[in-house]
């Protein structure tokens, strides 16, 4: 969110680009051209807003020459001073003007802007609230106040200010999205749902409100309700491409892959071809087991965006499912090359190496994952397994012990350590850790049995399992 007060609101009918061209041509030709007050205000504000301070200074000097009695240029001069970091001088100038023009809202607005630049957000809010009492630009002022509250990390008041702005302009897509953003950022999705339901009682044809309501339902895994919300948005606007896209995601989360494909394809009717949309279509076909269509869409996604790592991963998955291991590895490797910090891509590649007996390569990639993310328990487990498969039990045990330094509440690691110790002949020590793991989570014992299936017939283990299952 940003400070969004529209300094050019009085000159909305003016062609700003044409004005700027005229002014800059005048400077270049060293000619004298007449501009009226409104035109010069637009020119000055344009340069200040894009922080071309040298040109705003020239525009100000020219404006004061043509219209020496105009107060609005004195206010803009204070803005200029602030952009040159002369904050206190600018505030002093405005304070002097305030004595004479107590009903000039622009004075308070510029003071608020300057205090904001000084990170004095509480004082900025005070000035904007003064302007509220006399301004016709109330909506913009509420947005500015919300911006200051955001900078103070006071999100409830930021939301309240945006709601006040929305009361004035309930059709504003921007305000609806800003309010949704704050609810999402603060983890208040349930409150967001409540707000949008109340808002839709008054504004039932707000497609943006239905759309954001769907987003919140989706984030809480309420996919059926999300579908309903997106469908309302589409009923209001049957060209709403973002709603089709999100509806497709919700259908996919529900396992309705044929419906998700229909909606993704509908998205493509109303917006330019997009690589991610094609990727998701491919993913839906993959989930349906239609691998030829999945490959078609993954590869089409790569034609649109040759560096889309997800699409390389998708092709790799399908090739693995078809038994084409060598080609699959190449695609996964490309995904990792494009996105080396994506540990999930690297993890899938490492798993392939592990399953196909390329233990050195598996160790390399699992090690890279655990180095960048010590909490990635699956990578630790498989890194140790790769060492074990190569006959290096000591290294496998050492990996698990190192993993426990950062993840000592993971029962899977304790089960695996117990399994390795058991296989190393340290049965008594192994049972100490089996009990520890059972105490933490007795339901995870299958992880140990997957490694040591013979334990299932060992009476000592069976007795322990019965004890801890009864205590659950």
Q: Tell me, what's the pLDDT at 286? A: 98
Rounded Cα distance between 4 and 143, Å, is: 7
Query: Taking 50 as the threshold, does the pLDDT of residue 10 lie above it?
Result: no
Q: Is 83 strand, coil or helix? A: helix
Nearest to 246 by CA among 236, 228, 235: 228
Residue 42 C-alpha from the chain's centroid:
35
User: For residue 2, what pLDDT band results from cuts at 50, 70 and 90?
Assistant: very low
Nearest to 119 by CA among 3, 233, 34: 3
Q: What is the per-residue DSSP string for 315-351?
A: HHHHHHHTT-HHHHHHHHHHHHHH-TT-HHHHHHHHH
- E strand spans, 105-175: none
Q: What is the per-residue DSSP string for 199-261?
A: HHHH-TT-HHHHHHHHHHHHHTT-HHHHHHHHHHHHHH-TT-HHHHHHHHHHHHHTT-HHHHH
- For residue range 320-379, what is the model confidence (pLDDT) as tens digits? 999 999 999 999 999 999 999 999 999 999 999 999 999 999 999 999 999 999 999 999
Rounded Cα distance between 312 and 315, Å, is: 5
pTM of the model: 0.81
Nearest to 239 by CA among 205, 268, 214: 268
Query: Taking 70 as the threshold, does the pLDDT of residue 8 lie above it?
Result: no
Nearest to 266 by CA among 294, 283, 244, 250: 244
pLDDT higher for 137 or 186?
A: 186
CB–CB of 1/181 below 8 Å?
Answer: yes
Query: Taking 60 as the threshold, does the pLDDT of residue 75 lie above it?
Result: yes
Q: Residue 428: CB partners within 8 Å, gap ≥ 6? A: none
Rounded Cα distance between 380 and 244, Å, is: 40
Instruction: Please give the mean pLDDT across all residues of the chain.
Output: 93
Q: Tell me, what's the pLDDT at 471? A: 58
- Produce one character per residue of 69-90: b if its CB has 16 or more CB atoms within 10 Å, e if not: eeebbbbbbbbbbbbeeebeeb
Q: Residue 406: CB partners within 8 Å, gap ≥ 6? A: 374, 375
CB–CB of 419/442 below 8 Å?
Answer: no
- For residue range 177-188, what is the model confidence (pLDDT) as tens digits? 999 999 999 999
Q: What is the per-residue DSSP string for 381-418?
A: HHHHHHHHHTT-HHHHHHHHHHHHHH-TT-HHHHHHHH
Q: Tell me, what's the pLDDT at 181? A: 95
Largest CA distance in the chain: 102
Nearest to 241 by CA among 213, 272, 214: 272
Query: Taking 90 as the threshold, does the pLDDT of residue 9 lie above it?
Result: no
Percentage of the chain modeled with pLDDT above 70: 96
Rounded Cα distance between 342 and 442, Å, is: 32
Tell me the C-alpha to C-alpha distance, in Å, between residue 291 and each of 20, 298, 329, 367, 377. 57, 10, 17, 32, 31
- For residue range 196-249, what is the model confidence (pLDDT) as tens digits? 999 999 999 999 999 999 999 999 999 999 999 999 999 999 999 999 999 999
- For residue range 292-313, what is the model confidence (pLDDT) as tens digits? 999 999 999 999 999 999 999 9
CB–CB of 141/5 below 8 Å?
Answer: yes
Q: Tell me, what's the pLDDT at 465? A: 86
Rounded Cα distance between 352 and 333, Å, is: 11
User: For residue 16, what pLDDT band results from cuts at 50, 70 and 90?
Assistant: confident
Q: Residue 437: CB partners within 8 Å, gap ≥ 6? A: 411, 414, 415, 418, 444, 445, 448
Which CATH superfamily groups domain 1-152? Tetratricopeptide repeat domain (1.25.40.10)
The answer to which of 94-108, 181-195, 246-260, 420-434 has the lowest mean pLDDT is 94-108
The answer to which of 8-12, 98-102, 123-127, 310-314 has the lowest mean pLDDT is 8-12
Nearest to 165 by CA among 393, 382, 5, 340: 5
User: 31-40, 117-126, 450-459 — which one is most confidently predicted on average?
Assistant: 117-126
CB–CB of 143/165 below 8 Å?
Answer: yes
CB–CB of 213/200 below 8 Å?
Answer: yes
Query: Taking 90 as the threshold, does the pLDDT of residue 270 lie above it?
Result: yes
Q: Tell me, what's the pLDDT at 271? A: 92
Q: Is the dihedral of CA 148, 154, 158, 161 positive or negative?
A: negative
Q: Tell me, what's the pLDDT at 470? A: 66
Rounded Cα distance between 252 and 440, Å, is: 35
Query: Which H or E run contains 276?
Result: helix 275-288
Q: Tell me, what's the pLDDT at 472? A: 54
Query: Taking 50 as the threshold, does the pLDDT of residue 11 lie above it?
Result: no
Mean pLDDT of 70-88: 91
């Amino acid at each position: 969110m940003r400070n969004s007060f529209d300094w050019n609101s009085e000159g909305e009918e003016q062609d700003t680009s044409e004005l700027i061209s005229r002014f800059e041509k005048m400077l270049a030709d060293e000619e004298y051209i007449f501009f009226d007050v409104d035109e010069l205000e637009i020119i000055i504000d344009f340069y200040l807003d894009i922080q071309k301070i040298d040109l705003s200074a020239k525009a100000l000097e020219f404006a004061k020459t043509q219209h020496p009695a105009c107060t609005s240029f004195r206010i803009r001069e204070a803005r200029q001073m602030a952009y040159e970091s002369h904050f206190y001088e600018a505030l002093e100038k405005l304070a002097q003007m305030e004595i004479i023009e107590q009903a000039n809202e622009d004075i308070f607005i510029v003071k608020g802007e300057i205090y904001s630049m000084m990170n004095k957000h509480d004082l900025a809010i005070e000035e904007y609230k003064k302007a509220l009492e006399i301004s016709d630009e109330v909506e913009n002022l509420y947005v500015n106040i919300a911006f200051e509250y955001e900078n103070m990390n006071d999100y409830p008041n930021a939301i309240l200010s945006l709601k006040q702005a929305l009361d004035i302009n309930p059709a504003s897509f921007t305000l609806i999205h800003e309010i949704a953003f704050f609810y999402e950022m603060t983890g208040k999705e349930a409150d967001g749902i409540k707000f949008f339901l109340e808002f839709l009682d008054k504004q039932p044809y707000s497609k943006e409100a239905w759309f954001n309501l769907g987003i919140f339902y989706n984030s809480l895994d309420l996919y059926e309700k999300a579908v309903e919300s997106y469908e309302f948005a589409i009923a209001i606007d049957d060209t709403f491409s973002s709603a089709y896209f999100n509806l497709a995601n919700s259908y996919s989360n529900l396992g309705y892959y044929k419906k998700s494909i229909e909606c993704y394809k509908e998205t493509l009717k109303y917006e330019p071809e997009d690589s991610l949309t094609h990727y998701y279509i491919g993913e839906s076909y993959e989930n349906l087991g239609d691998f030829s269509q999945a490959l078609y869409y993954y590869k089409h996604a790569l034609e649109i965006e040759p560096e889309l790592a997800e699409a390389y991963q998708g092709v790799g998955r399908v090739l693995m499912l078809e038994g084409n291991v060598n080609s699959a590895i190449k695609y996964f490797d490309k995904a990792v090359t494009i996105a080396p910090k994506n540990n999930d891509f690297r993890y899938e590649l490492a798993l392939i190496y592990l399953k196909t007996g390329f233990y050195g390569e598996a160790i390399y990639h699992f090690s890279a994952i655990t180095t960048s993310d010590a909490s990635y328990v699956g990578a630790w487990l498989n890194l140790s397994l790769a060492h074990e498969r190569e006959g290096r039990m000591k290294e496998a045990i050492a990996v698990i012990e190192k993993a426990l330094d950062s993840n000592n509440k993971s029962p899977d690691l304790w089960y695996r350590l117990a399994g390795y110790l058991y296989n190393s002949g340290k049965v008594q020590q192994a049972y100490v850790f089996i009990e520890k793991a059972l105490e933490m989570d007795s339901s995870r014992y299958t992880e140990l049995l997957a490694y040591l299936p013979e334990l299932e017939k060992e009476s000592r283990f069976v007795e322990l399992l019965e004890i801890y299952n009864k205590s659950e």
